[in-house]
Structure 1
Amino acid sequence: MISIYSVGALILAYLFGSIPTAVWIGQAFYGIDVREYGSGNAGATNTFRVLGKKAGIPVMILDILKGWTATNLVSFIGLSVTGPAHSIQFVNYQLALGIVAVMGHLFPVFAGFRGGKGIATLFGMVLAVHLPSALICVLVFLVILLLTKYVSLSSISAGFAFTFSVIFIYQVSVKAIVIYGMCICILILVTHQKNIERLLRGKESKVNLFKKSSNSSSNLR
């Protein structure tokens, strides 16, 4: 049964997701709207590309925290977990809240509905829903990033790793999580269509997290 608390939690989850960390940090500390440069997205990857790691790391952490916090709002809507059936209901609420937060990141009400691609917020959601698979995603992301220096390819690989891990490694019995994993793959392919095209053409930008970043005009393109 849908209660007023559940509806309120969904609205709050969307508002959490709508916090445009990349836009606000870029404007507050650099006088730059990252959406006007690089890939044009208000996300951690484009922040790394345009402003460097000093801005990109905080944006990434805050975007992850948005997804994690929104997903965990389920603990505050009066839902008790006492058995398997209730556990499934709990996870369903988690997924609903997390998905709404991701939609908030994609279409933020606080930034003219021009957001990012939702990968960091998706990861925060995964952390809250299934921690072991989230750790596998981190490992896959880091390995691909170190090998290729493509954040987009690393994000795509990590998203598919989540689906693979919940189905084949941990064999999660909650169907909603499996379906969610499949939806993640579709969402990632849709939101990274331009990145995939650039990867195939060999024109995708690389990010080196271990080099000293420069905020010169060469980054603002």
Structure 2
Amino acid sequence: MLNNTIIAIGIFILAYFLGSFPTGYLAGKLLQGIDIREHGSGSTGATNVLRTLGKVPGSIVLLIDAIKGALAVTIVNVIFTYNLVPALPTEWQAYLVPLAATGAILGHSKSIWLNFGGGKSVATGVGVLLAMSWQVGASTILVFGISIAISRIVSMSSIAGAISVTIWMLLFARPLPSVVFAIVGGIYVIWRHSTNIQRIIAGTEPKLGQKLESTT
């Protein structure tokens, strides 16, 4: 049991470091020599990169951030699929998958390389969901897509997607630990968008294609 606990801790740490890779920050430094945290919303996520650096960098950051999350979960699934750690009970998979997902999301939003700052975990969260259950991930993306088509507001659509995840987890009969992850993760993503919510209420949140004045 002690060895299995150590393995679980190791999986969480690995997932955290995968998530902490500072994609948006590096894009700003490499492409324009800027600190993306000093522009727009101050986030290192794909939306702020899109607004600050353009569509192509924003799309690349979005893709890489999603891959980070998917990879963290996939590693756990591969371990159990190929029985790479025979001592791990099979029932642990239901718990280690959400654990890895949590590590990746925390790594992205609280990166050790960025003084524990980062993005708002939406892209990494999508990657996590697709790897956990492609049905849940695809359904969440659909909610986001419908919302962005109607509102043209990325943050509002991200919040709508985050709220919907729990519903999809239940509808697709995912394990209880995954449902708990969806609830807690959804609340976390919404909390990360607290300043966006304030701007939405005030009517000052920029729509897709519009820029946000620098926070610094």
TM-score by length of 2: 0.88
Residue 196 of structure 2 aligns to a residue in which SS? helix
Aligned residue for 1:19, secondary structure, equals coil
1:13 Cα deviation from its structure 2 partner: 1.2
Within-5 A mapping of 1:62-211: 62-74=64-76, 75-76=78-79, 78-79=84-85, 86=90, 88-167=91-170, 169-172=171-174, 174-208=175-209
Query: Identity of aligned pairs, percent?
Result: 32
Whole-Å separation in 1 of the counterparts to 2:167 and 2:160? 10
Q: Which residue of 1 aligns with 2:52?
A: 50
CA contact 2:46–2:58 (8 Å) conserved in 1? yes
What is the CA-CA distance between 1:55 and the residue it aligns to? 1.0
Contact 1:137 1:161 in 2 (8 A): yes
Question: Alpha carbon RMSD of aligned pairs, Å?
Answer: 2.2
Q: Match of 2:44, as an amino acid?
A: A
Query: What residue number does 1:10 align with?
Result: 12
Structure 1 residue 178, shift from structure 2 partner: 1.2
Q: Which runs of 5+ in 1 are unaligned?
A: none
How far apart are residue 44 of structure 1 and its match?
0.8
Deviations 1:128-170 (A, max 9, x none): 1111011111111111112111110111111112111122x32
- The whole-number CA distance in structure 2 between the counterparts of 1:54 and 1:136 is 25
TM-score by length of 1: 0.86
Residue pair 1:17, 1:121 contacting (<8 A) in 2 also:
yes
Q: What SS does the corresponding residue of 1:186 show, helix, strand or coil? A: helix
Q: What is the letter of the counterpart of residue 182 of structure 1?
A: I
State the Cα deviation string for residues 37-86 of structure 1 (Å, max 9, x = none): 11111111111121121111000000000000011221247346xxxx82
CA distance in 2, matches of 1:4, 1:92: 14
User: Unmatched 5+ residue regions in structure 2?
Assistant: none
Structure 1 segments of 4+ aligned residues over 4 angstroms from their partners: none
Q: Deviations over 1:171-216 (max 9, x none)?
A: 33x11111111112211221111111101111001113xxxx9xxx
SS at match of 1:203: coil
SS at match of 1:171: coil
For these two proteins, the number of residue pairs brought into alignment is 208
- d(CA) in 1 for partners of 2:92, 2:160: 29
